[in-house]
Structure 1
Amino acid sequence: MEKCQTGWNSLCGLRNIDYSTFSTNASDVPYELFKQLFHLLLSRCNRLPTRHRLRIPKDLLLVYSTTITVGKSRLLWALFHGQRAGIKLHVALSTTTEQPVRVIETNAKVYDGPIGDKLADKNYILVQDRAYGNIKRFDQYAR
């Protein structure tokens, strides 16, 4: 594989890169830049005309979260449990495009409920975990 990549790089006029060097240098790039690139990529991908109707008035939007934990020395600002630190990714996923519509990152300790308001979209029917439930929001849906 490396031989193939080296040949390809020389054909394109690119010099070889060591992946560990790339990883080390990537740690110096602010995460906000990667976040903006990710959202730009999502906005471009979500424009694809892949709509499939199942006689449901709106597309489904799946809302869920996942917690990513690491040693506390890696994320001092995101202490979680004891010697662990973590972040939580709250994801709104379109069932039509099978791609994220929106992703919000928080400290792992943040409760899911308030984030549900930020992920809600009137253009979709929400399918979400009960942790995102909010009775006042349910009343708004009825209107």
Structure 2
Amino acid sequence: MAYASAHDEMIFCVDDLVEALGNDDRAVGKVVRLVRNCIGTGIEPLNRAGEAVQQGRFMEARRIVHQLRDAISELGARRFVGACLGLELALAEGKVLEIPLLFTAAETELRLVMEHAGAWLDQHAGRHAAR
């Protein structure tokens, strides 16, 4: 794996997904589209969740974070998934003092996923440039 170290596999790793889809150019093309779709919204979903928290709508914020976690988890983003689970739990339990720190952690991890996914796309999208 040329795009990431073993430590980076916790941030972003689609190798298993590519392999499960056939480990060929067609599989890579499917994963390229998936990666683009997953990171295409950037941090906007977290911003929406943050606005919901500011308005006291913790369960709505939890739902948004859960949906984002579900989508990004397909990219092997274990660290992001862990950060989101902690945030979701704090939102569900109304732990107001913990939420800002957990939001920051989730945003940091999401930015890392987007950075690593972008690097992966740079390596693989040349063969699959149809956007």
TM-score by length of 1: 0.24
**More strand, by proportion:** 1
> Of the two structures, which has the highest relative contact order with CA contacts closer than 8 Å and spacing of 6 or more?
2
**More helix, by proportion:** 2
TM-score by length of 2: 0.25
> Larger Rg: 1 or 2?
1
